[in-house]
Amino acid sequence: MDASETLGVLRRSGMLDPFRGTAVAAGLSRWGPSLAAGTMAGALRTPLGTAVIDEHGRISWSQLDRRTSRLARGFHAIGVGRGATVGILCRNSIGFVLAAVSTAKAGLTPVLLNTGSSAIQLEEILERETVDLLLVDDDRADELAAIDFDGRIVSVSAFRRLEAVGRRRVDPLLPKVVAPVLMTSGTTGTPKGARRSVRSVSSGAARGVFGLIPYRSADVFVIPAPLFHAWGFANLSVALALGSTIVTIDRFSPAGVVDAVADHDGTVLVAVPVMLKRLLNATDLDLGPLRRLRITGSSGSALPGALATEWMDRTGDTLYNLYGSTEVGSATIATPDDLRLAPGTAGRPIPGCEVRVLDHAGAVVAPGTTGRLFVAGGGAFDGYSGGGGKAIIDGAMATGDVGSVDADGRVFVSGRADDMIVSGGENVFPGSVEAVLSMQPGVIDVAVLGVRDEEFGQRLVAYVHLSERGMTSEQDLRAAVTRQLGRHYAPREIVFVDSIPRNPAGKVSRQLLLS
């Protein structure tokens, strides 16, 4: 995307209207490309306008700007200076936004921590990431006070005291733009920190996202997706940059999302696919308010084609599906037109990105052929905190997934490379089976895993959560898979369970499922 195209995108978003453009320029001049710049711009343009809403109240742009400056000075006052590392262990809330913006103003490196992490996992992560200060929700402060951690722990309720300390300081806050450390999903082990440069965060891929998803400054973002994951945090960054109101939801429920959209005139919903599925499964809920949305943004895990179609049939053609990862950044976007024409697609590469499908020798395969997916130009990370990274071939980084690109340039993701199983000599991807099973009558949630088998080498086991036992049978489920994918995809074992354990990003926690 060249300079003129970028300016066109920003004008359409409303970011460069005469007054906001001046405010944005002032914010960027003061803080550089960070969350602090958007906060300052919002305070200059609409000081009394609502910046963030959570279940406990709301905060204006001027309050957000003022409080985060005091917090930043408060960090310095207690000896946490520029260049230090701060862990943020907060659910979606005003507290999370205060923490994220104030660390940007203080020149600190934020580490966004999964609120579902255990105390034992956190001990390992805090040591590996060399965290100096941990900002934490009140309900976990007592638990974490007992962990092996040499740094300070500050609860959200203590922010006011820290602000009071900062209010008495007059030392200038000098800009030092630092990209946040994002944690990998950690579905099979302790999450790893993915570090990246500000350059990669501000890459052309980010501008390409703006060009394909029609965000506007007047939008109201309803965000149940976790802010500590890349998808939620990216939308927080977009909303702050636009001066849009942010409505955070700390614990997802279908009724809570619908109420938030209705009560606050939401126009953008930021979700992960399992949330969309649960909303559609809430048969006793009127989804009418969701038809007000201009954008439903989905990412974080695979979006089954049937789910995309049903969502648009019931709420309107406003669904955008982004494919990428913590490591490679943003790679593709499927627009509503893409999802209508080719349900199940991950979309086309974002302008400035290239998606390559390579065989095991590193050669590009023919259109429609399945291979390893690599991304170039998507804002890739610099490496894991503990060392190491992803494979890179000719400047393109491995996503860890396998898939294909059709003749029209649309990308299709078959599943994780390490999830593929060979059963009776056939290559099988559990994700394809999950997509079929998830749309069968009465199925609320499903996870399909490969396990060892003496006869076939490996076999598929499907874990299925039904809304009511007896709504569908094992035979019905196997028949649906056989009909759509072939006999070798049909699970040899189906286990009915009361729930599928998932992390806050919606990805299956395989260790918990198998325990």
**Is 194 a domain residue?**
no
- Same domain? 258 vs 336: yes
- Same domain? 403 vs 483: no
pLDDT per position as a tens digit, 371-420: 999 999 877 887 888 777 888 999 999 998 999 999 999 999 988 877 77
Q: What is the pLDDT of residue 8?
A: 62
**Number of structural domains found in the chain:** 3
Q: What is the pLDDT of residue 206?
A: 62
Give the span between the Cα atoms of 394 and 354, in whole angstroms.
12
**Is 94 a domain residue?**
yes
**Is 501 a domain residue?**
yes
Q: What is the pLDDT of residue 79?
A: 93
- Same domain? 309 vs 444: no
Query: Which domain range does residue 73 map to?
Result: 3-178
**Is 386 a domain residue?**
yes
- Same domain? 227 vs 359: yes
- Show which of 359, 390, 418 is a domain's final residue: 418
- Show which of 368, 397, 418 is a domain's final residue: 418
Contacts of 171 (CB under 8 A, 6+ apart): 73, 76
> What residues in the chain have per-residue pLDDT under 50?
none
- Same domain? 160 vs 219: no
Q: What is the pLDDT of residue 199?
A: 59
- Show which of 389, 418, 447 is a domain's final residue: 418
- Same domain? 403 vs 440: no
**Is 44 a domain residue?**
yes
- Same domain? 48 vs 162: yes
Give the span between the Cα atoms of 154 and 166, in whole angstroms.
14
Helix (H, G, I), strand (E, B) or coil at 390: coil
Helix (H, G, I), strand (E, B) or coil at 229: coil
**Is 191 a domain residue?**
no
- Same domain? 115 vs 132: yes
**Is 225 a domain residue?**
yes
Distances (CA, A) of 230 to 49, 77, 133, 164: 27, 30, 21, 32
What's this model's pTM, rounded to 2 decimal places? Answer: 0.86
Q: Which amino acid type is present at position 33?
A: P
Q: What is the pLDDT of residue 465?
A: 92
> Of 348, 308, 318, which Cα lies nearest the Cα of 330?
348
Q: What is the pLDDT of residue 511?
A: 75
> Of 129, 130, 127, 84, which Cα lies nearest the Cα of 103?
84
- Same domain? 211 vs 104: no
Give the span between the Cα atoms of 251 and 230, in whole angstroms.
18
- Same domain? 58 vs 42: yes
**Is 193 a domain residue?**
no
Domain at 436, CATH number: 3.30.300.30
Domain at 231, CATH number: 3.40.50.12780
φ, ψ dihedrals at 231, nearest 5°: -65, -50
- Same domain? 399 vs 459: no
- Same domain? 370 vs 488: no
